[in-house]
Amino acid sequence: MRARFGPPPPDGGPRLQRVDRTGPRSGRPTLPGPATELVALPSGVRVEQLITGAGDPMTVFAHGLAGDIAGTRPLGSGVAGRRAFFHFRGHGRSDVPPGPWSFGDLAADLRGVADLTGAGRALGVSMGAGALCRLLAETPDRFERVVLYLPAPLDGRRPAAAAQRLRRLLASVESGEAAMIADAVEAELPAAVRNTPAGWSYLRQRVEQLQRDGLSAELESLWSAPAVPDVSLLRAFRGRALVIGCLGDEIHPSSWAAQLAELLGADLQIYDRPTVLWTNRQELRDRVSTFLNA
């Protein structure tokens, strides 16, 4: 088993961070995040989870590759009821079981959280959308409403930019140097956001989280096989779906968003430029909440 890059998180208590004077100077420290918990899934894997909101319905949110709970929460800010956010294996404080891993394993993580929380709705981002598609191919009646945000290709073939991004991020986390991690993370920000208060806040939070929790190298093994071996199985889904893509996003081609929308009989929204969570956040949140709250 390849180890998680970065310090392994303890089961409880304060987590120590290494001193690194190469990190970005930001002035104000980041605020502590909300308290999460470790929950054991039927598979035996423990995942880090956060429940917010009150009442019904329950919606589960699945983050993207190398993402985290904090980065997914804005998509659920207007969603009614309770919201379950979690870290897939190899992310955050979640377990790092022996690899190699598959999208079937990620679908099992997602299914485990959904079953434990009673979620009838789901949102998946990029890799999380792939895991959600795998779950729907296996059990098309599991969710009544789903949102696929920036779905990545499901055929096991990654764009070169996606593979390069992951390799660079894993190398930076393995180095343990905040400046190197910040360089890797900053490349994901739109140019207009860099060197702004919002950009620095995001950068600080991500650097601190990756230094604290690390990131598993086993994530590279996910693309050894298609996320969904037979995408035609998605036609059996009878719930409501919304697929959201962007033009100009080489990691998440809009052609895949259109293909998934056709397979699922889904509503399709294609934005005219990438990084829409930064450039058109309020409209995106309203679109997601309007769909899930209906």
CB 120 within 8 A of CB 56: no
pLDDT at residue 27 greater than cutoff 70:
no
Count CB atoms within 10 A of the CB of residue 289.
Answer: 18
Number of structural domains, the chain? Answer: 1
Q: Which residues span the domain enclosing 145?
A: 34-158+226-293
pLDDT digits (tens, 9 = 90+) for 46-76: 999 999 999 999 999 999 999 999 999 999 9
pLDDT at residue 25 greater than cutoff 60:
no
Q: Which residues pair with 53 in a beta bridge?
A: 82
> Quick check: is 283 in a domain?
yes
> Quick check: is 130 in a domain?
yes
Look at residues 242, 235, 258 and name the one whose alpha carbon lies nearest to residue 145. Answer: 242
pLDDT at residue 28 greater than cutoff 80:
no
Q: 99 is written with which tokens? A: 């690899």
Look at residues 230, 253, 237 and name the one whose alpha carbon lies nearest to residue 153. Answer: 253
- How confident is residue 31, by pLDDT bands cut at 50, 70 and 90? low
> Quick check: is 87 in a domain?
yes
Q: Which residues pair with 268 in a beta bridge?
A: 243
- How confident is residue 129, by pLDDT bands cut at 50, 70 and 90? very high
pLDDT at residue 20 greater than cutoff 50:
no
Rounded to the nearest integer, the mean pLDDT of the chain is 90
Question: Using alpha carbons only, what angle is made at residue 61 by residues 59 and 65, rounded to the nearest 5 degrees?
Answer: 170
- How confident is residue 10, by pLDDT bands cut at 50, 70 and 90? very low
pLDDT at residue 24 greater than cutoff 50:
no
> Quick check: is 70 in a domain?
yes
- Quote the pLDDT of residue 4: 61
pLDDT digits (tens, 9 = 90+) for 224-274: 999 999 999 999 999 999 999 999 999 999 999 999 999 999 999 999 999
Question: What's the CA gap between 102 and 35, in Å, rounded?
Answer: 29
pLDDT digits (tens, 9 = 90+) for 148-204: 999 999 998 888 989 999 999 999 999 999 999 999 999 888 888 998 999 999 999
Mean pLDDT of all residues in 87-110: 97
What CATH number is attached to the domain comprising 272?
A: 3.40.50.1820
> Quick check: is 90 in a domain?
yes
> Quick check: is 265 in a domain?
yes
Query: 11 vs 6, which has greater pLDDT?
Result: 6
> Quick check: is 178 in a domain?
no
- How confident is residue 34, by pLDDT bands cut at 50, 70 and 90? confident
Q: What percent of the chain has pLDDT over 70?
A: 89
